Amino acid sequence: MLGYIELVASTLMYGLGVVAQSVAARRSTTRSGADLGLLVRLASDRLYLLGFAGQVAGFVLAFFARASLPLYLVQAGSSAAVGVAAVFGALVLGWRVRPAEVAVLVMMALGLILLVGASTPSVADDVSGRLGLALLAVLVVGALLIVPASRARSSVPLAVLAGVQFSVVAITSRSLADGSLADLPLDPLAWLLVLSAVAGQASLIFALQRGPATSSVASMDATSVVLASVTGLAVLGDQVAAGRQWWVMLGLALVVLGVLIFGSVLRWASPLTVTEPQEAV
């Protein structure tokens, strides 16, 4: 039960963090290419730091949730943060949420219910040496691609890179979460996790600056959910309740489809997609 509580709290923190980070990144001056100075400017932005704190809290809670819950559930729950952001904006910031968006939120909620019903808590298998080397290669190649991807007019390439790196974070943390925290500094997987998180965060910052947060986060989440879920089931020994394999497939499809609809089809007038109203006046 503790793992499910940690997952719910993680999703809430991720959602609040996305709202704050996206507003801070979008109001910063946009420059062509990989604007490394953006990281410095955002480091002094209180709103961005608040969002970053929410992301860190979400990550820590998700890390502990992965100690017992399968990746297909934890990653789907984390990806639902875009829906949490919409609800938060409607209830607290006064954003207008249309009936179509409510329908998508319901669809995502049904997907999560299916995944919860299909999930079986378990401890993950250890990451093999071959898989560890493959994840390291993904980190290095992904980091090298950040600069070329930042030259694209669309934010999608950067967002996909962020999703790939965060899938590495999810895979490594699934294996590490059930171990001793005191041993983490000496574990190479822990350093791979940290470096992948840094690379993913950098890719996400540049993506948020170049396009609407909804499409950026949707591309990132869809990528990480699919890659991490498949790896968890195929390599890490994630379990599914007997006879409920189709629940996982349908649940993941509903969540990923909901995230993509939010990101590419539905747009609501909010700081997630446009300049803040106070600055537009």
pLDDT at 154 over 70: yes
Name the domain count of the chain. Answer: 1
Report the chain's terminal Cα–Cα distance, integer Å: 48
Model confidence pLDDT, tens digit, residues 30-61: 554 445 555 566 666 777 788 888 888 988 99
Model confidence pLDDT, tens digit, residues 204-233: 888 877 776 667 778 888 899 999 999 999
Residue among 231, 240, 261, 278 at smallest CA distance from 93: 278
User: Read out DSSP for 3-72?
Assistant: HHHHHHHHHHHHHHHHHHHHHHHHTSPP-SS--THHHHHHHT-HHHHHHHHHHHHHHHHHHHHTTTS-HH
Residue type, 83: G
For 230-268, letters b (16+ CB in 10 Å) and e give: ebbbebbebebeeebeebbebbbebbbebbbbbbeebbb
The whole domain housing 100 covers 2-280
